Each structure stands twice: as C-alpha cells, then as structure tokens.
C-alpha cells in the first residue's frame, strides 16, 4: 500500500522563485527511499513540504498524500495529528528538535506519554527504555541532562529516540549524520538501520553523500536544482548512471565501495 504519494510537488517563494519543481515519487509502507543531490538542490524543502512545515513565505503546490491524508494546502494546525503519528523527522542538527531548557527525559516523555498513556514511574521507565534502545549508556543520567550537557552524537540519538517514541509509519531523516564526527557516523547509521527494520518503518533518507544513502536505502532519487534527475536502485545509479550529474555524485562518494560491501553483508 502506498504510504507517501508525492505528485507534482512544487515549492515557490513569495517572490516567485521555484525551489522544488514538479517532483513526484512514492513510498510504500516499510519501503526506503534516498533523496540525494548537492547542497541547495531542494532536498530539505521537499521533506519540509512532506511534513507541512515549509518556512514562512513559501508555498507548495501539487499533491502530497501521507497515509491517505493530503498535506498540501492544509493549515498547519490540522497537521499536528498527522505528524508524529504518521511521520516523524530527524534533522541534521539535533538541537533543532530539542528544547534547550528542558531535560532530555521530559522531552521524550511527552510524545511517549501521548502515545502510550503511561504516567509517573511507568512513563519514566519507558523513557529509560527508549534511551537504552538508541544505545545510550546510563539512560537515567542522560534523562536528567539538558541537551547541552551531552555530546552531539548523544543528542542525535536522543532526537532519534524522540522520533521513534511516536512509532510513526514513516521516518524522515535529513542529513542525520552530517553534523556528527566521522567516528560516530557509521554507528548512527547502523543504529537507524536496525531500529527502523525492527519496527518495519518506511524511511525517506536525505543526504548529499551517496555513500551514506547506500547504507540505508536500496533505491534513491537524484535531485538537482529542485528537480528529479533520475531515480533507481543505488546499485544501478552507481553502475550505470543515465545522467552526467549522477556520475559526478558517484565520483564524489569516496566511501562508496566500502558502503556497498557493508550493505551486501547485512
Ligand atoms: N528559508 C528559505 N528562504 C529562501 N530560500 C531558501 C530557504 N530555504 C532554502 N532556500 C533555498 O532553496 C534551495 C533549496 O534548499 P534546500 O532544500 O535547503 O536544499 P538542500 O537541502 O538540498 O541542501 C536553495 O537554493 C536554498 O538557498
Ligand atoms: Mg538540506
């Protein structure tokens, strides 16, 4: 069944610039798709449009149906139920999702409590479980910490735990490892891969790096200047790219060989 159906999505600024141009793709339940393209190609605006979260002064046209619900043209207030239940997002910078003034545990308790109805001690235990699931050591200590008191890698795990707490059908990850040290990137990708697989969630995974996309998805859509350049399996894009632009992306994906090796062994 189609979970996400994007048809002719176009994003324009109020002064008439077209930043995403007639983009179409679909994602079935449990399926994964990568969005790949150089910086500025419209990947993030696409994910924001899917969530109904475009910045002020930007408008979307076309159609985005998430679990059968139209997102384009619907007032943001009416979409809050859809977000979280049907789709959750992990951004490049985890601080985007986290409230700097609220302890980590409380931030996870909010969506978790809403979904499960748990309270008090039971909810606190569920929060610790959620933090342990994203392999954070000493979850009770992390739960009491403020976001600035933990490392960037730990913050991104917290952001992932928050997204998963809603048990969404679709996880959107926009450059989730780009801001992290190289040493923790691979671990984060492996963690996402495992947790998403266990839950049978669909993933829309955004990166400028084809090698990173290859670790999570088998299929990818290449974007340039707000448009779709080509779409196919990662293997086909690497081995027989139809477009010159895809070829340059492949060439710049330095760690591609090892990523493909890693994928074939999983
Ligand atoms: N808030 C904004 N106001 C004006 N232009 C924006 C805004 N956000 C993004 N853009 C422009 O839209 C284009 C696509 O941006 P984005 O979707 O963030 O690209 P990507 O995520 O692929 O790097 C870029 O040219 C960027 O400068
Ligand atoms: Mg971006």
- pLDDT score at 156: 94
In a domain, 56, yes or no: yes
Domain range for 32 is 1-85+202-266
Best CA proximity match to 98, nearest among 45, 146, 135: 146
With a 6 A CB cut-off, is 40 part of the ligand 1 pocket? yes
List for the chain the helix, strand, coil content (%; round to 5): 45, 25, 30
- Separation CA 24–CA 232 (nearest Å): 13
174 CA closest ligand 1 atom index: 21
117 in contact with ligand 1, CB cutoff 6 A: no
**Chunked in runs of 10, what are the mean pLDDT values of the chain (266 residues)?**
96 96 97 96 97 93 95 83 83 88 95 92 95 94 96 94 92 94 90 95 95 93 97 94 91 63 54
Domain assignment of residue 5, yes or no = yes
CATH, residue 22: 3.40.50.300
Residue 192: predicted pLDDT? 96
The number of beta carbons lying within 10 Å of the beta carbon of residue 13 is 12
| Residue 76 in domain | yes
- Cβ of 19 closer than 6 Å to ligand 1, yes or no, is yes
pLDDT confidence of residue 19:
98
What pLDDT is stored for residue 84 in this prediction?
Answer: 72
Which residues line ion ligand 2, judged by CB < 5 Å?
44
Indicate the pairing of strand 170-174 with strand 32-36.
unpaired
What 3-state DSSP class applies to 261? helix
């Amino acid at each position: 069944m189609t979970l996400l159906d994007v048809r002719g999505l176009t994003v324009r600024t109020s002064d008439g610039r077209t930043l995403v141009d007639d983009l179409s793709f679909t994602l079935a339940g449990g399926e994964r798709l990568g969005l790949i393209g150089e910086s500025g190609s419209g990947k993030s605006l696409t994910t924001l449009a899917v969530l109904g979260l475009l910045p002020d002064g930007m408008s979307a046209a076309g159609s985005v149906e998430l679990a059968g619900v139209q997102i384009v043209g619907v007032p943001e207030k009416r979409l809050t139920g859809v977000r979280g239940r049907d789709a959750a997002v992990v951004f490049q910078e985890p601080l985007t999702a986290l409230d700097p003034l609220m302890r980590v545990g409380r931030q996870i308790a909010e969506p978790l409590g809403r979904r499960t109805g748990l309270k008090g001690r039971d909810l606190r235990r569920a929060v610790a479980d959620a933090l342990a699931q994203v392999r954070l050591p000493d979850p009770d200590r992390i739960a009491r910490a403020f976001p600035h008191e933990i490392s960037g890698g730990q913050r991104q795990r917290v952001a992932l735990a928050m997204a998963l707490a809603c048990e969404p059908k679709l996880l959107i990850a926009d450059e989730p490892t780009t801001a992290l040290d190289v040493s923790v990137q691979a671990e984060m990708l492996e963690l996402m891969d495992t947790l998403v697989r266990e839950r049978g969630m669909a993933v829309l995974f955004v990166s400028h790096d084809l090698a990173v996309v290859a670790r999570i998805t088998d299929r990818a859509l290449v974007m340039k200047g707000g448009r779709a350049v080509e779409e196919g399996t990662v293997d086909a894009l690497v081995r027989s790219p139809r477009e010159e632009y895809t070829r340059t992306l492949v060439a710049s994906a330095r760690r591609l060989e090892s990523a493909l090796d890693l994928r074939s062994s999983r």
